[in-house]
Structure 1
Amino acid sequence: MAYRRGSNQQPPRRILRTQTAGNLGEPILDSEVVPSSLVEIAPILRVANEVEASNPRVAYLCRFYAFEKAHKLDPTSSGRGVRQFKTALLQRLERENETTLAAKAKSDASVMQNFYQHYYKKYIQALHDAADKHDRARLTKAYQTAAVLFEVLRAVNQTEAVEMADEILEAHTKVEEKKQLYVPYNILPLDPDSQNQAIMRYPEIQVSVSALRNTRGLPWPKDHQKKVNEDMLDWLQAMFGFQVPFIYIQKDSVANQREHLILLLANVHVRESSKTDQQPKLDDHALTEVMKKLFKNYKKWCKFLDRKSSLWLPTIQQEVQQRKLLYMCLYLLIWGEAANLRFMPECLCYIYHHMAFELYGMLARSISPMTGEPVRPAYGGDDEAFLNKVVTPIYETIAKEAKRGKGGKSMHSQWRNYDDLNEYFWSADCFRLGWPMRADADFFCLHREQPRVNKNDMN
């Protein structure tokens, strides 16, 4: 993931790696250079690059479908870098249509249909029939590619008014079923079919996963659709509105932080449990150790501002471990999705302070004095509510201030950089911002300068 610094701003967006690349002045049109507003077409271009060597016409059809989808996503090309991207892609399509059309003996629908059947037999059936059917990485990639190919095939058939063959529909049904089991992962395969994987048999991994899946007593939303192996992060995602994955891009911020926390807990558990007998559950000392490291800066911030932390633990001992894990999960989810704000650690402390308090209220079944209803997150309920309603307003203030800086040419007293904006949260006056945050608060006013605080006082 690329991080943003200073005045070199990028809009808040989903977690996706993007960069600019070129070859002899011509951009490489793949998933690495797609503008952030067109991120949904990245898997289609990745498949085009993958199949180009074996069938250039299919690669062309994939890129043509990606271009049509990009035009629907941004018809006016108003997004950053979209117009240049679409122009380069269109020029490439014009060249490829001439070179691949001559070699095409049948209709495009027939070409796509034959290639889909060939791909399914060679890369999916063959892997399942082979002795080493535990090669999950290859199977995962094959299922994701087959799903994209079917989407392109369906679009081509609609254009040429051709019905889908029954054999292909049956194959697609099987792909959709298995795609839910074989999802992308970094180190830990945490999908329902992962129990027999070697890394998932380590005791420290098993106890960490088991602890996170203790969702007993958590108040799920009424319209929630239950999934297999749900855990605390799924609950927090549903309640606070953290990112959900794109189609064909199954990794999202919640999945990344789930793996992150499991590995943190497992590493410390190995060291702590080796001092005593091996334990069948997550070591309490390991949990406390990880918690201390995660919340070191937050507790320091609370002490500096003379505020009680929002890390309140229940009196029932059996619920303490669940509560500690929920606090850590919430912190990592905030940190993982607030990439644009990571250079403002005290700002993140402010955000976490309020969201952890809301978490405590939900778990305690508290009643809001304002509404008379059970406590709910101020920004929760909608998909990507945290990104759109918390991160984006703060980022927009950063972006406006950076614009006022004019690339460092303006006097520093005339604009605020990351450090200046973060200083706002070194004073108890920051609580005037409120929660939910007031749009007319001092922090969002560009004409005001914030009082400076000596950071050495926090040490």
Structure 2
Amino acid sequence: MEPEIVEVEPLRYAPAPQWRAPPPPPPLPPPPMTASSSASATEASASASAVTAALQFDSEKLPQTLVLEIRPFLRVANQIEAESPRVAYLCRFHAFEKAHMLDPRSTGRGVRQFKTTLLQRLEQDEKSTFSKRKERNDAREIKSFYEKKKQANAHQLMPVLGEVLKAVLIGTGLESLVASEDFGDKSGFRYNIIPLHPRSSQQPIMLLQEIKVAVSAVFNVRSLPLANVKGEKSQTDIFRWLQSWFGFQKGNVANQREHLILLLANMHARLNPKSSSAPMLDERAVEELLAKTFESYLTWCKFLGRKSNIWLPSVKQEIQQHKLLYISLYLLIWGEASNLRLMPECLCYIFHHMSYELYGVLSGAVSLITGEKVRPAYGGEDESFLNKVVAPIYDEIYAEALKNKNGVSDHSTWRNYDDLNEFFWSADCFKLGWPMRLNNDFFFTSTKNKKSHETKIQNSQLPRGSSSAQNIVNTEVPDQSQQVVNIRTRPFHNMVYYLYHIPNFFVYVFSSE
């Protein structure tokens, strides 16, 4: 039987018809408009437009090259926009001008995009804020707002508003309105945790008992000699008093003042049993902080066979104040020491001499040579501690680091932090003197440029009215062949000595099993 051949047609894919949603129902007719509903609708649309405008610009996303100069103006603009939209617009406009002056060709990364976004925001706010202006022109508007914030002691806004006001008044003929104004930075009112500026006593953190007693102790300047620099703020607390004598930086003084207040408050709060004298700082807290702060310094003095220069008065009422002065002096030295913090014995040496000078100022000691009261060797000028104490030692560290040649040079040809710090492990370090003799072995370097640089520095380091033989600095640079410095050397047999420990390690490990 022959098979039957059946022809089969190929299957073809036929897509299913696409589903479509039914049309929406027609919208309901709007309710009749009344006066109240129309006003609320207007307010809602205005608020919606304000929110939309605020979302178009973010004051925190800035190019890295403009952050320091531009961000303060944009933050202040966001902060005061609800209170005075026109002044906020002027702050943003001034920020745009500064950004264009800093980078006129917009070559920085993200600068062009930032300028475009800010310009769009300014074009949008120009007309909307003009109608909300309360004065007849922008100059009087920002002047009125500035006076209002000045009376409210809004110190964090004053530098920004002052600069914008000064820029707006240029060419208007109203420059005389601010001729006597001081638009300086009120950095003294900046703080991290503890607000110490005026009218801050009612803030919650300032109502804590431990904070009150710590602040009272730090601001106790009774029985102290007059400050070295005449001024209304030089005699307000022990840190400004120390700054006037030793020339510390203002930022360092503000940071360490808050640092000490928090340390004292924490130790006062942890006392057990609690302090019986509630309105005063407990002596146990001060004694505990004193012991922890000067543990390393007292060990260093004992190792070198020297007496500590922490001298306390015989008057009982002044003992706590003098303890806080020594602690504050050490904190100020540490806060401004920079890379010298990696050399703890060097810091002990610096504090040893400066604490002795502090004792001379407190006791009113008189020089037997000049007949005048003893004064610190490096004090009396702004930032003198940084320029005359820290900078010479740091320059020596930097000069030695250059000899490293990115790790290629041998260790015996240059000195690292440990080698420089070993100089202060022996009593020979006192040959360095105070003021420091910049031709001492410690400042040894093999470059001619360094020698000439040291000669210029040491000539400028000669103190005025020097009162002791130690203050005399020899301006001649000794021969380098006679210099003795601490350079760590590693002989070849040290390698054998180190390898010897490896088999000993295995012997002890396997024998214990």
Q: TM-score, normalised by structure 2?
A: 0.63
Please show how residues 211-226 of structure 1 align to structure 2 within 5 Å: 211-221=217-227, 223-226=229-232
Please show how residues 293-442 of structure 1 align to structure 2 within 5 Å: 293-442=292-441
**2:174 paired residue number:** 164
Helix, strand or coil: the match of 2:312? coil
Residues 46/120 of structure 1: CA separation in 2 closer, same or farther (3 Å cut): farther
Provide the C-alpha distance between the structure 2 equivalents of 1:429 and 1:182, rounded to a whole number of angstroms: 42
Say yes or no: does 1:232 pair with 2:225.
no
8 Å CA contact 1:30, 1:49 repeated in 2: no
What's the CA shift for 1:275? 3.2
Residues 221/259 of structure 1: CA separation in 2 closer, same or farther (3 Å cut): closer
The one-letter code matched in structure 2 to 1:373 is E
**2:291 paired residue number:** 292
**Relative contact order, higher structure (CA 8 A, sep 6+):** 1
Q: 1:146 aligns with which of 154, 161, 167?
A: 161
Residues 389/359 of structure 1: CA separation in 2 closer, same or farther (3 Å cut): same
8 Å CA contact 1:30, 1:46 repeated in 2: yes
Aligned positions, number: 374
What's the CA shift for 1:316? 1.2
The one-letter code matched in structure 2 to 1:30 is L
Of stretches 348-357 and 273-282 in structure 1, the one that deviates more from structure 2 is 273-282
**1:15 paired residue number:** none
Say yes or no: does 1:30 pair with 2:66.
yes
Provide, for residues 207-262 of structure 1, a one-character-per-residue CA deviation record: whole Å limited to 9, x for no partner.
11111122122222465112398111110000100113xxxxxxx11010000000
Q: 2:72 aligns with which of 47, 63, 82?
A: 47
Structure 2 unpaired stretches of 5+: 1-61, 79-87, 131-135, 447-483, 490-513
**1:34 paired residue number:** none
What's the CA shift for 1:184? 1.5
Residues 238/181 of structure 1: CA separation in 2 closer, same or farther (3 Å cut): closer
Helix, strand or coil: the match of 2:217? helix
Provide the C-alpha distance between the structure 2 equivalents of 1:361 and 1:28, rounded to a whole number of angstroms: 49
8 Å CA contact 1:67, 1:90 repeated in 2: no
Of stretches 285-294 and 114-123 in structure 1, the one that deviates more from structure 2 is 114-123
Residues 127/150 of structure 1: CA separation in 2 closer, same or farther (3 Å cut): closer
Structure 1 unpaired stretches of 5+: 1-25, 32-41, 69-85, 245-251, 454-459
Q: Quote the RMSD (CA, aligned, Å).
A: 4.1
What's the CA shift for 1:181? 10
Say yes or no: does 1:197 pair with 2:233.
no
Helix, strand or coil: the match of 2:94? helix
Residues 383/402 of structure 1: CA separation in 2 closer, same or farther (3 Å cut): same
Residues 49/280 of structure 1: CA separation in 2 closer, same or farther (3 Å cut): closer
The one-letter code matched in structure 2 to 1:296 is E
8 Å CA contact 2:227, 2:235 repeated in 1: no
Of stretches 211-220 and 290-299 in structure 1, the one that deviates more from structure 2 is 211-220
What's the CA shift for 1:105? 12
Provide the C-alpha distance between the structure 1 equivalents of 2:274 and 2:115, rounded to a whole number of angstroms: 64
Say yes or no: does 1:257 pair with 2:273.
no
Provide the C-alpha distance between the structure 1 equivalents of 2:138 and 2:273, rounded to a whole number of angstroms: 54
What's the CA shift for 1:277? 2.8
Residues 431/87 of structure 1: CA separation in 2 closer, same or farther (3 Å cut): farther
Larger Rg: 2
8 Å CA contact 1:294, 1:328 repeated in 2: yes
Residues 47/64 of structure 1: CA separation in 2 closer, same or farther (3 Å cut): farther
Helix, strand or coil: the match of 1:272? coil
Helix, strand or coil: the match of 1:313? coil
